[in-house]
Structure 1
Amino acid sequence: MRKRLAPFVAALALGIGPCAGTTAAAQSYPIDCAILLCLSGGWPASVPCARARAEFIRRITPWPIEPPLQIWRCPMGAAYPKNSDEGPLARLYDAVFDRSAPTMPAPGPAILSHMLSPRHWPDAEDQEVRRLPKGFALQLAQGADIDISGPEFNFVRSIRVYDVRHAGQYDASEAGCVRSAAVYLGSYSTQGSFSWARSTPEALPEAHVGLETWGMNCPDLYHRSVFVDWQDYQGNYGFEQINY
């Protein structure tokens, strides 16, 4: 699979394929199929991948925050001839960038089944942020329409989205240091479904910037951001952070 992946990643980088070069052609395939392919290849420089990365980042730009990769919107099953010996990513590349491949149906909408509580800084009389029930996870959508449990799709499961809805601390004199935070972690299951769970500032990746003094003495601090990181097919690390 690794050998077969290299040629179509190179093709993306060079902008090869009938979809590259024109807006109309680039919009003829589901954007999430392009996100899937370009993310796996480490976002190679090309028109389709630039558009896919822009959409990937737009989805985590508040508010609301969407799963950056919505794999359930890429109808991969329609692209796969059952008698093919190629790996699933290679077959998907052929379906997305080859006009002779079968037409893929339009994806359905991605709809949140529930909205998280509004962002807020707690009042002095109520320093406890409203907590989600123990074990709470917000399930947003089903996963891929084919089996993606194999190691070639580890890059999908590597994606993590940290929603720092707020994290702050200040010195309340006699009351001491007051700290409050609401951080949520979005992650993908084995089959690519996405869910939210409660997290903490301490769990943020080392690459995150803005909370370096969290928990140190009590310098005034207030921070909000969305941070997403991932590893591509080769295991290379990447991330994006949006402060607001």
Structure 2
Amino acid sequence: MELTDKQRDKAILFILEQLAIHLDGDEQNPHAIATEMGAGLASPEIVSLARGHLIKDNYIDLKYPFFDLPFGRYATVWNGSGGWDSIDTPDTVSKGDLIQLHVLGEHAARKVFLVISVTNGSIWYMNTSEVGGGGNYNSTVWKNIRQTTILWKGEAGINDDMRLVESTRRFRTLKVTVSGIIGQTVEIPAVDNPVLSLATVANTANEAYTVRINLTDMQNQRVLRMTKCRLVTFRPTGNPTFTDDTGFKITSIEGIY
């Protein structure tokens, strides 16, 4: 704003014009209220945060120690400049990865840090109850928020195809539910052509069982087929018995990240 010498009437008019810029309300809200169209007496940054926009700053790790970050929501990169080398890195995040970083809490000691990977959508959080991290039963190690997607439900046996809603390559592990003599839910790595291994003991008979189920990729890990199901029966006497296709069914597959 340019300040110049003004005559009385011009000075009064100038002051009124400046007041009009800042005052547009009523007795309860005399000042210009921040809206989606303007910041009013709030800074553009505050208005942006209130509307759900994140503060973009790829060098924030050079400005603040991690646990001293101001409350807010940031679009940044993880430890891009090495300022947070002393902080544990979330397992699915690498240095320089794009992240959303949310810092919430009550005061400088009680904070919650939430990291969302832009690359893969994984979510990690850390809670503190003392300045510098930790405190009470809190640790300075990231905790993962597991995300589960139902990829397929139904009933599939030998040579049946299971058409998944998404490729298994987008997940870290798979949770597969099997029905049959051995009815279990097992969690396995989300690798191509996964293999299930199950085991149990008979309720009354002196027998124990293990089973191997092969799942074969038929289309970019979005269509899986049960191509082998082999049961081994163990008894106190005699050799183990090997049998194929003994009625086992897969009833659901979930992807977990």
- Please indicate the TM-score interval, normalised by the length of the shorter structure: under 0.3
User: Higher RCO, 1 or 2 (CA under 8 Å, sep at least 6)?
Assistant: 1
TM-score, normalised to structure 2's length? 0.22
Would you tell me which structure has more strand in proportion to its own residues?
Answer: 2
TM-score, normalised to structure 1's length? 0.23
Would you tell me which structure has more helix in proportion to its own residues?
Answer: 1
